[in-house]
A and B are shown apart, each in its own frame.
Chain A
Amino acid sequence: MYQFNVYRIGPEIKLGSVDISFTNASLFMVISSLAILIIFNLGAKKKTLIPDKLQLLSELSYTFVAKMISDTAGSNAKPYFSFIFSLFMFVLFCNMFGMIPYAFTVTSHIIVTFVLAAFIFIGVTIIGFMKHGLGYLKLFVPSGVPMVLLPLIVVIEIISYLSRPISLSVRLFANMMAGHTMMKVFGGFVISLGIVGGWLPLSFSVALTGLEILVAFLQAYVFAILTCIYLNDALNLHH
């Protein structure tokens, strides 16, 4: 579990009595953000009719996210495009940088994913109330439900709504942590079984690396698309 340890890099920074030192987690957040900015800036700089590789990459990502949003949340969600784009890219790059050996996976920490999820939850709730006023509460009362079941359904809906940030954050965090832990365990097997029996866990480890890269992308995608779905609930209230 050493790979999940957070340690201070450089001097201790204190804001009042709170410790906000620069850590390895902060380092990888900065690296991910910088990587995104550099890649997309390079991709957006040239404006040629026939794009080169980086331009194609950035444009493909743009259209990919745009299509994802318009498919799940409709055209109303266009103003939130840039937020979801940066969210998707941030989570994706953090996941992917975590796949580099000796790197730190930012998204394998519950606190990071929970802050993101809580921000989304609060933001979506505010958008919903701003858009529909108290009518947003109709979200908890699905239409076409018998009156007898209604109290139960409403309670369930409220619980499921309130557990959204938790499920969203725990999904990402648990996936990343489990994957990295599994790779660590198999790596440990390779060492302890040595040259004789270490080949089997080594091959597992190689296969798991591919799987983890897939999971890294998939979880970023799931995170973004769930955000879109929550946004859809808030924007187009039709239960």
Chain B
Amino acid sequence: MFKKIIILVFFTCFACFNTVFAAESGGMPQLNPEFWISQIFWLIITFGVLFIVLTKVILPKISDNLETRKSQILENIETADKQKEESQKKIDEYEKIILDSKIKAKNYFNEAREKILEDINKKRNALEKDLDEEISSVENELSEFRNKSGEKINKIAAETSAELIKELIGEEVNSSSIAAIVEDQAKLNKERKDVV
């Protein structure tokens, strides 16, 4: 069955070829020289006209157009570059201004701080001086007082001990000897205190 179909198709193809080419007689028309000269003639005319018109009129226009476009684009790119440069400059300027002002602000701040610190230091120094003076005067007073107090105590002790002895034995004792004893005792006390 399959073989039959293939054979049938083959034969129809063959028949078709025969019918297609049976109508074509006389070979290739290309090799018929009847109209060769005419074709050459018209080819030269048409191609010549085409060539001349293209060369003289159309192609210069196209190339001009291309050139102008190229130059215009280049120009535009140039101006764009220029503008970019300018804007870069402006940005730089702006940044510089900002930096300057920042530095200025910092300087102001530092100055103010230094001023304040100086002020504070001055005041503190003055205060400390005052304080020191007061402390030293107080200390002086104290030490004076302390120095004086020993003698006074001894004196008081001698007087009281003299009175006590007078009360106890009813006799006047030589005050200078009592003072000497009190002094000795005070010295002893002091020594003991030191040892402790």
Q: Which residues from chain A sit less than 8 Å from chain B, CB to CB?
A: 1-2, 4-6, 8, 15, 18-23, 25-26, 29-30, 32-33, 36-37, 40-41, 43-45, 47, 49, 55, 58-59, 62-63, 81-83, 85-86, 89-90, 106, 108-112, 115-116, 173, 177, 184-185, 188-189, 192-193, 197
Cβ A29 vs Cβ B43 within 8 A? yes
Cα-based distance from A3 to B58 in the complex (angstroms): 33
Chain A contact residues: helix, strand, loop or mixed: helix
Known interface pairs A29-B42, A59-B66. Does A19 touch B35 (Cβ–Cβ under 8 Å)?
yes
Q: How far apart sit A55 and B43, CA to CA, in the bound complex (Å)?
A: 27
Q: Of A2, A25, A55, which one neighbours B24 at CB under 8 angstroms?
A: A2
Residues in B34-69 with C-beta less than 8 Å from chain A: 34-44, 46-47, 49-51, 53-55, 57-59, 61-66, 68-69
Name B's A-contacting residues (CB within 8 A): 9, 12-13, 15-17, 19-20, 24, 28-32, 34-44, 46-47, 49-51, 53-55, 57-59, 61-66, 68-69, 72
How many A-B contacts are there with CB distance less than 8 Å?
Answer: 146
The answer to whether A44 touches B38 (Cβ under 8 A) is no
In Å, the complex CA distance between A29 and B17 comes to 32
CB distance from B68 to the nearest CB of A (A): 7
Specify which chain B residues have a CB less than 8 angstroms from the CB of A59 in the assembled complex: 62, 65-66
Complex-state Cα separation, A218 to B55, whole angstroms: 24
Cα(A25)–Cα(B63), bound, Å = 32
Chain B residues in 8 Å Cβ range of A6: 29, 32, 34-35, 38-39
- A26-B50 contact given A44-B65, A47-B65, CB 8 Å threshold: no
With contacts A23-B39, A23-B42, A173-B30 known, is A82 near B51, CB below 8 A? Answer: yes
B100 CB to closest chain A CB (Å) equals 45
**Minimum CB–CB distance for A197 against chain B, Å:** 7
A64 to B196: give the CA distance in the assembly, Å: 121
